[in-house]
Amino acid sequence: SNSIVEEFYAMEYGPAPEDPKEVERWLDAHKRSFGNYIDGAWQKPASGEYFATNNPATGDKIADVAQADAADVDAAVQAARKALPAWQALTGHQRARYLYALARQVQKHSRRLAVLETIDNGKPIRESRDIDIPLVARHFYHHAGWAQLLESEFPGYTACGVVGQIIPWNFPLLMFAWKVAPALAAGNTVVIKPAEYTPLTALALAELADEIGLPPGVLNVINGDGRTGALLVEHDDIDKIAFTGSTEVGRIIRKATAGSTKKLSLELGGKSPFIVFDDADMDSAVEGLVDGIWFNQGQVCCAGSRLLVQERIAEAFYAKARARMETLRVGSPLDKSVDIGAIVAPVQLERIRALVDQGVADGATCWQPQSTMPQKGLYFPPTLLTGVHPTATVAQEEIFGPVLAAMTFRTPSEAIELANNTTYGLAASIWSENINVALDVASQVKAGVVWVNSTNLFDASCGFGGYRESGYGREGGREGMYEYLEPAWGHERAKQKRPAKAASTKEDDANANVSDTIDRTVKQYIGGKQARPDSGYSFPVYSSDGRVLGEAPLGNRKDIRNAVEAAHKAEKWAKTAAHTRAQILYYIAENLIQRRSEITSKLAEMVGKDQASSEVECSIDRIFTYAAWADKYDGSVHNPPMRNVTLAMNEAIGTIGIICPTEAPLLGFFSLVMPAIAAGNVVIVVPSEKYATLMGDLYQVFDTSDLPGGVVNIVAGRPSELAKTLAEHDDVDAIWCFRDPADATLVKAASVGNLKQVWTNDKYEIDWFDSNQNDGRYFMRHATQIKNIWVPYGE
Ligand code: NAI
């Protein structure tokens, strides 16, 4: 008397293997040996060195691939440089035609690309066929559109030039598309290095680019491991580096590019929370979880690798999750009915094992389903670690495998605290049937991407990228395009080679001249109060004809630390209504107007009458500009081809250290500080030492403008020294340094601790008096970071 139900549960999946014949044929046609694709041709490596790329599911070698050395990297960069002028001379429409052609070509060859991806990477064919490759095509289509609209949508912007790109192995062709499509759409030429475990689909795509007649040198693909990547990063003739990979290598690249003017974007790791409230639709949340952590074997930078579940439902939720895990099939990635494929490489499998062992040693309970595992190949079962302590290694470090670390919370605020309790900030997934709770949590998690009642959704129209140590820059959408563009005026200025400025000697005699006879001694401005410098020292500030105008405080690390602390206490400024921030900026302008003549005459002693009055007048205008922007620099709403809307919110970055320029002491100050605070940031400002006493006159302007204490903090002293301290400080989220190129190098190198965003003037100087450059958008963009919140919408 077998019931239908019993029959149903007794049914076994049969294997449904995908046929790899076409791919085998393609590999054979290439004699299973690949060179580098440089200047439109396949070239053998200069060194003659090759490495093997293996199938992680079987351990078999698939092909030999060239290891590019310095000569190959140089040849590729030269080819890209040579191809640049003609590529840039094309209209946006002409470049769009190439990108459309590539998109179509990807669609025509989608099955072959999917199978090749699965063989090289180990991911299930269902994923490469239904997710990776369709998204690759979508990315080229979408960016063909940006190429078409470039002139009208990005007026005044131009391509960076030659771009070096380095990508990881977890989504080999998708990351290739994410990098190459916007770069080419914007008019750059490219040298890209795929990951050494998974080079094959990039090479297949280079072949497709060749077939559609993409001009030689526009796209160059070089192969190799980290050594090749390092050579590309260090090459002199590269204008921009874009990297996706581990945070560790991100730090190396930040350091390696510190002494250059290369633009940099980093998309790094994550430890993203998957937050389940007790009113969530549990079945949907469990399905989301499967996608969140077991998609691509968990080798996903934005994987929902930390499950935070509300205490009341924790046991019930774990039980449902375990039951679902029992049904996940681990096995040959070419089998269409397999959910979890192979781990990319032996070292990664070892790393996952070691981290799970560590988790258990640290007190977590490890659960894995009973389902059988293949005997051969690099497999790891879906794994649930419960009772994980929030500070345990498995709760803090990226495992990059099918391993979920679970912990519980009681209240929404505890959930937010746990969610933000890592150094990362890539993504978050929030499950609740209560839209108020979900959106309230969305606004408070530190993450570049937030999915409400959904997870791992990607689209070319929506920006993707992290907060904090998950990197900076966005990929996709309008914001992703800006990563491959720069203002045309900046480009022009960069071409007029700037002479390196002599280091200031004023600093050296800063405290040589300590004088107690001068009564005009200015203090630091910290937390809305005037504060004596910790050092007890001050330094003289001179007029343009050499008279001592007054004494400025000589700040040190302690003053900076105090200022950062005060700034942190004022961070609710970001939550102050934009309308209120705008009003306060208008007050600042009004109060500056009140003191206009006094400040003008003081500044005149330093920089001369003409400059002084134009600095003051321009400053007033500038403050009005940012008061106007404060409640207008809105985000946007995207309409991706899913049942979602994506709210792209411009959020404050947090605490910004600002090192002021010397050339326009007052105007430079306001041109930087105003957009920062208009956007909701709090700042620590280091004025130019030559004019530091001028700041004393601004304290009253701020005090009488209702600006909350701590939003603007001013610490004078030796700028290079203070810049370094700010750059090293882990509670500072960004640093803007507008002094000598040497200072730019210094802050970039010192910023690696928490990978803070860095903005410097070493490539091109801003003309503070030019209202076109200072119309606001360019500055507001630097003062904000975009959070993309995906919300279910419509049927
Ligand atoms: P990785 O960061 O070393 O590799 C990424 C890319 O960078 C590869 O193309 C590699 O050849 C290149 N590379 C390595 N060293 C370089 C250097 N010094 N200069 C320039 N390029 C360099 O990542 P790996 O070792 O493959 O994976 C280790 C861990 O990193 C993973 O377990 C995971 O935690 C994390 N990871 C994160 C990714 C993400 O998307 N967020 C992607 C890949 C890895």
Atom number of ligand 1 nearest to Cα 230: 19
Report ipTM (2 d.p.): 0.97
Check if 195 has its Cβ closer than 6 Å to any atom of ligand 1: yes
Check if 249 has its Cβ closer than 6 Å to any atom of ligand 1: yes
Catalytic machinery residues = 267
Q: How far apart are CA 185 and CA 591, in angstroms?
A: 46
**3-state SS class at 160:** coil
Answer yes or no: is pLDDT of 495 > 80. Answer: no
Answer yes or no: is pLDDT of 678 > 90. Answer: yes
DSSP 130: I
**3-state SS class at 451:** strand
Check if 398 has its Cβ closer than 6 Å to any atom of ligand 1: yes
At 571-605, the pLDDT tens digits run 999 999 999 999 999 999 999 999 999 999 999 99
Write the single-letter amino acid at 107: Q
Check if 400 has its Cβ closer than 6 Å to any atom of ligand 1: yes
Check if 466 has its Cβ closer than 6 Å to any atom of ligand 1: no
- Among protein residues, the one with the nearest Cα to ligand 1's atom 8 is 195
Q: Candidates 51, 53, 121, 166: which one to mutate for ligand 1, based on the most atoms within 8 Å of Cβ?
A: 166
At 205-259, the pLDDT tens digits run 999 999 999 999 999 999 999 999 999 999 999 999 999 999 999 999 999 999 9
- Among protein residues, the one with the nearest Cα to ligand 1's atom 25 is 246
Q: Are strands 784-792 and 644-652 parallel, antiparallel or unpaired?
A: antiparallel
At 739-751, the pLDDT tens digits run 999 999 999 999 9
- Among protein residues, the one with the nearest Cα to ligand 1's atom 6 is 168
Beta carbons of 272 and 305 less than 8 angstroms apart: yes
- What b-and-e string marks burial along 446-464, b requiring 16 or more CB atoms within 10 Å of the CB? bbbbbbbbbbbbbbbbbbb
Check if 229 has its Cβ closer than 6 Å to any atom of ligand 1: yes
pLDDT of residue 1: 55
Q: For the whole model, what pTM was predicted?
A: 0.95
Is residue 245 packed enough to be buried (19+ CB in 10 Å), middle (13-18) or exposed (0-12)?
buried
At 334-380, the pLDDT tens digits run 999 999 999 999 999 999 999 999 999 999 999 999 988 898 899 99
Atom number of ligand 1 nearest to Cα 351: 32
CA separation, residue 507 to residues 241, 495, 538, 721, 750 (Å): 34, 30, 12, 10, 20
Check if 225 has its Cβ closer than 6 Å to any atom of ligand 1: yes
Model confidence at 331, pLDDT cuts 50, 70, 90, reads very high
Q: How far apart are CA 654 and CA 573, in angstroms?
A: 10
Q: How far apart are CA 193 and CA 179, in angstroms?
A: 11
Ligand 1 centre to CA of 53 (Å) is 16
Atom number of ligand 1 nearest to Cα 250: 2
Answer yes or no: is pLDDT of 9 > 80. Answer: no
Model confidence at 512, pLDDT cuts 50, 70, 90, reads very low
- Among protein residues, the one with the nearest Cα to ligand 1's atom 9 is 195
Q: How far apart are CA 129 and CA 171, in angstroms?
A: 12
- Among protein residues, the one with the nearest Cα to ligand 1's atom 36 is 246
Ligand 1 centre to CA of 742 (Å) is 29
Ligand 1 centre to CA of 34 (Å) is 22
Atom number of ligand 1 nearest to Cα 195: 9
Check if 239 has its Cβ closer than 6 Å to any atom of ligand 1: no
Check if 269 has its Cβ closer than 6 Å to any atom of ligand 1: yes
Q: How far apart are CA 111 and CA 457, in angstroms?
A: 22
Ligand 1 centre to CA of 607 (Å) is 50
Q: Candidates 222, 238, 246: which one to mutate for ligand 1, based on the most atoms within 8 Å of Cβ?
A: 246
Check if 473 has its Cβ closer than 6 Å to any atom of ligand 1: no
Ligand 1 centre to CA of 174 (Å) is 16
Phi, psi of 501 (to 5 degrees): -75, 145
Residue 759 structure tokens? 């903005």
Answer yes or no: is pLDDT of 503 > 50. Answer: no
Atom number of ligand 1 nearest to Cα 225: 11
Model confidence at 514, pLDDT cuts 50, 70, 90, reads very low
Answer yes or no: is pLDDT of 265 > 70. Answer: yes
Atom number of ligand 1 nearest to Cα 398: 34
pLDDT of residue 518: 52
Question: DSSP letter string over 608-627?
Answer: -HHHHHHHHHHHHHHHHHHH
Check if 252 has its Cβ closer than 6 Å to any atom of ligand 1: yes
- Among protein residues, the one with the nearest Cα to ligand 1's atom 32 is 400
- Mean pLDDT value across the chain: 95
Answer yes or no: is pLDDT of 130 > 70. Answer: yes
Neighbours of 776 (CB within 10 A): 19
pLDDT of residue 509: 43
Beta carbons of 206 and 118 less than 8 angstroms apart: no
- Among protein residues, the one with the nearest Cα to ligand 1's atom 13 is 226
